[in-house]
Amino acid sequence: MNMTKKHMKHHMARFEGLALRDAGGSTVICESGSIWLTMEGDSRDIVLEPGDSFTVARAGLTLLAAQQPSVVQVRAPKQAPSWWDRFVNFIDRTYGPAAIKADRKWVY
């Protein structure tokens, strides 16, 4: 699965697997059950229990496997806003509805 959505929640049956491609920086959160996680090029095996989370350190293939019926949430990394987003926010704060202040009697 390619990380195109910001947040994904998966209900996994026992021994079901999930492959994440290019998920570097994403956070995997185990909400219930038990999840085994491994990353391409990394010799570690991580086991997540309910309430545990892990941030994927590599951009390659990441595999998740449910050791029992589980619910896992995958959150994409926060990305810095683009220059256009920053510009639009500045214009909105300066001249748009966000610029109206109640303490100035609703005047710009």
Q: What is the pLDDT of residues 56-96, one digit of tens each?
A: 988 889 999 999 999 999 998 877 778 888 888 888 878 87
Q: Which tokens in the block code for residue 83?
A: 């220059």
Domain assignment of residue 53, given as a range = 7-75
What CA–CA distance (Å, rounded) separates 52 from 35?
10
Q: Looking at the structure, tell me whether residues 48 and 85 fall in a common domain.
A: no
**CATH number for the domain including 23?**
2.60.120.10
What CA–CA distance (Å, rounded) separates 34 from 56?
17
What is residue 57's predicted lDDT score, i.e. its pLDDT? 86
Q: Is the pLDDT of residue 5 over 60?
A: no
Q: Is the pLDDT of residue 41 over 50?
A: yes
What CA–CA distance (Å, rounded) separates 17 from 14?
9
* Predicted TM-score (pTM) of this structure: 0.67
Q: Looking at the structure, tell me whether residues 71 and 55 fall in a common domain.
A: yes
